[in-house]
Amino acid sequence: MNNYQGALQKPINSGFNAKSTTEEVIKGIDLVGKIAIVTGGNTGIGLETVKTLSKAGATVVVPARDTEKAKRNLAGIPNIELEELDLANTDSIDKFAEKFLESGRPLHLLINNAGIMWVPLRRDSRGFESQLAVNYLAHFQLTARLWPALKQANGARVVNVSSGGHQFSDFNFEDPNFLNREYETLLGYGQSKTAVNLFSLELDNRAKEFNVRSYALCPGAVGETELSREAPLDLFQKLGYVDSEGNLLPEVKASLKTIPQGAATTVWCATSPLLNDLGGVYCENVDVAELSSDVKIIGGIKAYSLDETHAKRLWKLSEEMTGIAFAFS
């Protein structure tokens, strides 16, 4: 059974909640002999994910654009392999994937965690809007390139870090790159995360016969990450997040998750035995999320993010935009 139109989109009583941490979620899970790749694994929730998987015995490959910074941030964590990767550069993605495939190893966990947000309008060398390019198309390309290793694992998971921000925008098939409409950074972000959700849905449907399952997730609003490093102060003031001095308002601060809480859903999607026979779902607060039909309510997943027609259309468009197809046969 697949999750088109949200057919499987309901909580499964995981026993965890919004306050659960990575330490609680990984308890009793042994990853010795497993190999994971975590993009964006040297900062924020990605770094916490790497620490947790490593502690459970996995070998974790951490690709990074700034390898010197990554080396500092990853110091002291065992079972780590640091590699160079720039998700904004298609050649860099191919080079990284090729190097991993040449090692001949299976890939048990691919965690597509890296992302950008709050950025001004930028385009990559192909003319694609940067949030769509980095948050989605880069991970589509990386997953496609690493497909042989995922298949080889005979029991792999692809975990795509999405966001509740998908509710800012459905995917705009007419103008995905803002060539003919005014650019709004949150519309670009929302569209990129809706794309991540549709990709996770369609990937699971196509990959499950090869024993590869796919998940999308919302980590929640997490403090102390680098995601907002380019955001102008007045944007946060307009949203009511900060005061005139740029300090987080107390009620906003109280609602934020810690980094171990923010990474908990990623780790759960990657490792929970409860998901062995369930894929293509969107998760939040360490459980499968509710399907939300009310566009005004934050939380859950919007129906347009699980639409079968859109998922298949986006897959075809992604192949056309990247020039890459999955070698399923």
Query: Cα–Cα distance between 280 and 8 in angstroms, integer?
Result: 8
Q: Which of 4, 136, 183, 189 is catalytic?
A: 189
What percent helix, strand, coil does the chain show, rounded to 5?
Answer: 40, 15, 45
- Residue holding tokens 């906003």? 252
Sort 206 into a burial class: Cβ within 10 Å, 0-12 / 13-18 / 19+.
middle
Q: Kindly report the CA angle at 55 between 49 and 60, in degrees rounded to 5?
A: 60
> Residues 276, 9: contact at Cβ < 8 Å?
no
- Establish whether 183 is a catalytic residue: no
- Measured CA distances, 102 to 71, 97, 106, 109, 223 (Å): 23, 9, 11, 17, 38
Q: To which H or E segment does residue 234 belong?
A: helix 233-238
Q: What beta strand segments (E) does 45-148 contain?
A: 59-64, 80-84, 109-112
> Residues 195, 306: contact at Cβ < 8 Å?
no
Q: What is the DSSP letter of 168?
A: G
Question: What positions carry a catalytic annotation?
Answer: 189
